[in-house]
Amino acid sequence: MNIDEKYYFDNLAFKSIQDKNQVILFSDKYKRWFRLNVIGKQILDKMDGNTTIKNIAEGIAQEYEIPCEVVLKDVDNFCIKALDQEFIVEEKSKELLNHRVDLSLSNIYIDVTNKCNLSCAYCSKCVKDEELGVDINFNNLKEYLNLLLEEKKAEDTIVNITGGEPLLNKELRQILEYLKSKKLRVILWTNGFYLDDSNIQWIKENCTFVAIPLDSVNEENNDRIRGKGAYEASIKAINLCKKHNIDVIISATATVFNINELKEIAILGESLEVYSMVINEPIKIDSANNRILEYFDFQEEIIEEKWREILGHTAVLSSWHNYNSDKVVFSACRMQDTCLNSVY
C-alpha cells in the first residue's frame, strides 16, 4: 500500500462508547456498528482525508515509543481491513458505507453446569454438592443453538464453555462434538482438576483453546483465593495441554489479594509459553447473591494502572511484533463483554 495514501473516515456520523480498551462505534446514518480497540480508534480519528498513512503511523509510533516501520505495517494492515469492510474510503466525496446491519455473533457463553469442586472467594456460580447442582440439558442446548444459528451469521463465532466446572457435566463431550460439527471455535474454561489422559484427546479434537485460571504466582496465595490444590492443578493442566499441543489461555480475576501481582502473573504465563492471558471483569456477588465488595476494595484507577503495566510488557509487544517471526507472541486482554468471575 502507498504510504502517502490518504483515507477518510466519517467521524461526525458515528457515536462512540468506550469501555476500558474497547470502543464501539455506531451510526444511525449508515446503519452500521463495529468494535475495535483504542489504537484502532486513534487511527480512524486521524483519517480526515488530508493525513497520509505515513503521518498517522509516525504519530502512533511516537506516542507508544515503537519503531515507525513496525507500526506502519500494522496501520497498513488496519487500512486493508477497513477498506474491505467499507468503513473508510479513499476520497471524501464517496459514500462511506453500505446500508447493512451486522448480524454476526462474536461470542456465545454457555454455563454447562453450576457444580464445582472449588469455592473461590469471589465466585457467584458454584455448587459443591453435586446432588444439588444442575447441568444444562444437551438436547435443549442443541435446539436453542440451532435456532440461534439460523438467525445469525456464525462465521468466526467463539463459544465459551464455562461453569461451575464444565468437566463435571457428563454430557460435555457430546456438547463439544456438537459445537465442532457446527464449525464453531470453542474455548473450554476449566479449573484443571479433571483434565487428564482419559479426556485430553477429545478435548484437543473439539476445542480451539483451553482456559485455565491463575490468580497468583504464589501457590499459597492462589489457593487462599481459589481453594486448596488449585495452583498445582492449574500448573499440571497447563503442562498437560502443552504436551498435547493445545493452546492455553490463563485467566485471572483482580481482587485485593492479587491486584499488585497481575503483571507477574502475565510474566509467569509467558514463561509457561501459554497463548495469552485474560483478566476477568468480576460481577462482585457470591453464589448466594450477596455483595462481596470487600474482595474488590480498590479504586478503578488501580486496575487501570495495573492493566497498563501488563500492556507495557505484553500487549504492545504482541500488537507491534516482528512480522518476520513465526513464533506466537504472548498477549493479554481484558474480558469485558461478559462478567466472568466463575470458578470455571
Q: 107-111 and 248-253 as β-strands: parallel, antiparallel, unpaired?
A: unpaired
- Cβ contacts of residue 78 below 8 Å, gap of 6+? 40, 43
pTM of the model: 0.68
Residue 323: pLDDT band (50, 70, 90) is very low
Bridge partners, 34 (sequence order): 25
Mean pLDDT of 189-199: 98
- The per-residue DSSP string of 163-204 comes to SS-GGGSTTHHHHHHHHHHTT-EEEEE--STT-STTTHHHHH
Q: What is the set of domains in the chain, with CATH numbers?
A: 6-84 (1.10.10), 107-335 (3.20.20.70)
Residue 300: pLDDT band (50, 70, 90) is confident
Mean pLDDT of 130-144: 89
64-103 confidence digits (pLDDT tens): 888 888 888 888 888 888 888 778 888 665 555 554 445 5
Residue for cell digits 451510526?
27
Q: Closest Cα to residue 35, out of 43, 25, 44?
A: 25
Query: Residue 340's pLDDT is what?
Result: 38
- Mean of pLDDT over the chain: 83
**Which grid cell sits at 215?**
490468580
Q: How far is CA 148 from CA 143, 154, 188, in A?
A: 9, 9, 20
The count of C-alpha atoms lying within 13 angstroms of the C-alpha of 343, restricted to the half-sphere facing its C-beta, is: 32
- Whether 164 and 109 have beta carbons less than 8 Å apart is answered as no
